[in-house]
C-alpha cells in the first residue's frame, strides 16, 4: 500500500527528532553521564515508530490487526498484575475470545456492533458465566474488574482502530491520518509533561497518586501539545483552527488523566511498572495508558464534528 505523501512527511519529521535525540544521548554518554535508561527509551521509540510505519504501509487491515494485538497485550498485562480468583480463569478466557471478535466488527466497519458488543453483551455474558461456576465470594469485585479491563484495554483502544474506517473527508487522505494525529499528540504529550516537569516542576499535582507529576509539567504539556495540534491538524485532519485547539486540549488533559489512572492502579498493587516488554518504558500498558482515555474521546469528538 502506498502511503499518502503527507503521512510520510510526518514520519520523516518523527525520525528526524529521534535522530536528534540519539545524537544528544550519544553526546551525554561522551561526558560520562549515565544514559542507560534514556538510551533504552530512545531505542524503544525507534522500534515502536518503525512498527507503526510498517503497519500503515501493509494496509489498513493490517493496522487494525496491529492495534488488536496491542489491545490483547495490554489486557494480558493487566490480568497478570491484578488479583484474581481461581474460578475467574474461565470468564477471563471468554474475555480473551472477545478481543478478536471486537476487532472483526471494526474490520468490517460495523459501528453498531462495535459500540455495544463489549459494553453490553460482554458486560452481561461475563457475570452470567461466573454465576454458572457458582463462586459468590468477591463476585462483585471480580465481575466489575474483568469488565473494566475489557472496556479500558480493548473497547477504548478499539476506537483508535475504528478511526481507520472513517471515510476520507475534506481533504484528509484516509483514517490513517487521524490515527497518526492521535498517536503523535498522545505520546508527545507524555514526553512534554515529563520534560517540563523535570525542568520546571515544583508543585505536585497528585502527590498521593503519582508523586513525580507536577502542575508545571501538566501545564507545559498542555500548551506544547495544543500547539502541535494546531500545527499538524491541517495536514492529518479536517479540523479547523478552533477545533484543533480543542483537540489539543482534550488529548493533553485526558492523556494525563489516563496516565494517572493507571498509576493509581499500580500504586494500589504496589508495583512500579505493569510489565517489562518495552525496555525503558515498562510494559505495553505503561505505554498505552494515556491512549485508553484519549482514543475514545478523540474518536467521538472527530466523528461528531465531521462524520
Name the pTM for this structure.
0.94
Q: Tell me 173's DSSP state.
A: -
**Cell, residue 206:** 497528585
Cell of 305: 464534528
What is the reported pLDDT for 172? 59
Q: Where are the alpha helices (DSSP H) in 58-174?
A: 60-81, 89-107, 111-116, 123-133, 139-150, 156-162
| pLDDT tens, the chain, 307 aa long | 678 888 999 999 999 999 998 998 888 888 767 777 778 888 889 999 999 999 999 999 999 999 999 999 999 999 999 988 999 999 999 999 999 999 999 999 999 999 999 999 999 999 999 999 999 999 999 999 999 999 999 999 999 999 999 877 665 557 899 999 999 999 999 999 988 988 898 899 988 898 889 999 999 999 999 999 999 999 999 999 999 999 999 999 999 999 999 999 999 998 888 777 877 678 899 999 999 999 999 999 999 998 7
Cβ(184)–Cβ(251) under 8 Å? Answer: no
Give which of 152, 128, 127 is closest to 140, Cα–Cα: 127
Find out whether 284 and 278 touch, Cβ atoms under 8 Å. Answer: yes
Q: Are 252 and 217 in contact (CB under 8 A)?
A: no
- 31: helix, strand or coil: coil
CA distance 127 to 132: 9
Angle, alpha carbons 222-228-234 (nearest 5°)? 135
Cα 254–Cα 283–Cα 153 angle in degrees, nearest 5: 50
| Beta-bridge partners for 214 | 204
pLDDT attached to residue 195: 87
For residue 304 the three cell numbers come to 461528531
Q: HSE on the CB side for 93, CA within 13 Å?
A: 7
- Which spans in the chain are helix H? 5-30, 36-57, 60-81, 89-107, 111-116, 123-133, 139-150, 156-162, 175-200, 215-236, 241-269, 284-288, 291-306
Q: How far apart are CA 287 and CA 276, in angstroms?
A: 11
- Chain-centroid distance of CA 177 in Å reads 16
- The domain segmentation of the chain, as residue ranges, is 1-58, 61-165, 168-307
Amino acid at each position: 500500500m502506498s502511503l499518502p505523501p503527507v503521512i510520510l512527511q510526518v514520519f520523516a519529521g518523527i525520525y528526524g527528532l529521534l535522530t536528534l535525540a540519539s545524537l544528544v544521548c550519544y553526546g551525554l554518554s561522551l561526558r560520562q553521564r549515565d544514559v542507560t535508561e534514556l538510551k533504552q527509551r530512545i531505542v524503544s521509540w525507534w522500534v515502536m515508530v518503525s512498527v507503526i510505519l510498517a503497519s500503515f504501509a501493509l494496509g489498513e487491515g493490517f493496522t487494525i490487526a496491529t492495534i488488536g494485538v496491542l489491545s490483547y497485550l495490554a489486557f494480558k498485562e493487566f490480568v497478570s498484575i491484578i488479583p484474581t480468583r481461581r474460578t475467574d480463569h474461565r470468564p477471563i478466557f471468554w474475555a480473551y475470545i472477545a478481543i478478536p471478535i471486537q476487532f472483526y466488527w471494526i474490520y468490517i466497519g460495523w459501528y453498531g456492533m462495535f459500540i455495544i458488543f463489549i459494553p453490553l453483551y460482554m458486560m452481561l455474558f461475563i457475570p452470567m458465566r461466573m454465576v454458572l461456576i457458582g463462586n459468590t465470594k468477591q463476585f462483585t469485585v471480580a465481575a466489575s474488574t474483568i469488565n473494566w479491563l475489557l472496556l479500558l484495554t480493548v473497547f477504548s483502544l478499539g476506537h483508535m482502530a475504528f478511526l481507520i474506517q472513517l471515510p476520507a473527508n475534506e481533504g484528509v487522505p484516509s483514517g490513517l491520518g487521524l490515527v497518526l494525529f492521535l498517536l503523535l499528540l498522545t505520546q508527545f504529550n507524555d514526553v512534554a509533561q515529563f520534560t517540563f516537569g523535570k525542568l520546571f516542576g515544583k508543585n505536585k499535582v497528585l502527590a498521593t497518586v503519582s508523586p513525580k507529576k507536577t502542575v508545571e509539567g501538566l501545564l507545559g504539556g498542555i500548551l506544547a501539545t495544543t500547539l502541535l495540534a494546531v500545527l499538524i491538524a491541517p495536514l492529518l485532519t479536517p479540523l479547523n483552527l478552533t477545533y484543533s485547539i480543542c483537540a489539543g486540549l482534550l488529548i493533553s488533559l485526558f492523556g494525563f488523566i489516563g496516565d494517572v489512572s493507571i498509576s493509581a492502579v499500580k500504586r494500589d498493587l504496589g508495583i512500579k511498572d505493569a510489565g517489562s516488554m518495552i525496555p525503558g518504558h515498562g510494559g505495553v500498558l505503561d505505554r498505552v495508558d494515556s491512549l485508553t482515555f484519549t482514543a475514545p474521546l478523540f474518536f467521538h469528538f472527530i466523528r461528531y464534528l465531521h462524520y
